[in-house]
């Protein structure tokens, strides 16, 4: 390629990238988001979460060093050894799709 063609291609790429960014920003700026902080007082086994998984039913599962929690959008249910966990320290979560 000749230098003029390379510069034209680069300019087109930069302009396209900036255009996509501006259009995306305009779209996202019209949305509002609501955030809420959940802690031990809300039912989490501890304030540090190791991993998060959303299952096929829409529940959020949160693992920690002190158990496994399920969040249904309103309530947090925590599972520990007495509930059947082999260990309190849950490092990661995956859904069993064979069930």
Q: How would residue 45 be classed by pLDDT, with cut points 50, 70 and 90?
A: very high
> Which whole-number Å values give the CA distances from 69 to 25, 63, 65, 88, in the listed order?
35, 6, 11, 11
DSSP code, position 99: -
Claim: this prediction has a pTM higher than 0.85: no
**Residue 13: its pLDDT value, please?**
66
Domain ranges of the chain: 1-33, 36-99
Per-residue tokens: 75 = 């309530």
DSSP code, position 85: -
Give pLDDT tens digits for 46-99. Answer: 988 989 999 999 999 999 999 999 999 999 999 999 999 999 999 888 888 876
Pick the residue with more confidence: 57 or 32?
57
**Residue 85: its pLDDT value, please?**
92
């Amino acid at each position: 390629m000749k230098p003029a063609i390379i510069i034209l291609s680069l300019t087109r790429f930069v302009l396209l990238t900036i255009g996509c960014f501006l259009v995306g920003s305009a779209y996202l700026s019209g949305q509002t988001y609501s955030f809420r902080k959940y802690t031990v007082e809300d039912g989490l086994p501890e304030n540090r979460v190791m991993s998060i998984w959303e299952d096929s039913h829409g529940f959020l599962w949160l693992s920690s060093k002190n158990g496994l929690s399920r969040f249904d959008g309103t309530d947090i249910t925590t599972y520990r050894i007495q509930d059947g966990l082999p260990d309190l320290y849950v490092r990661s979560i995956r859904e069993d799709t064979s069930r």
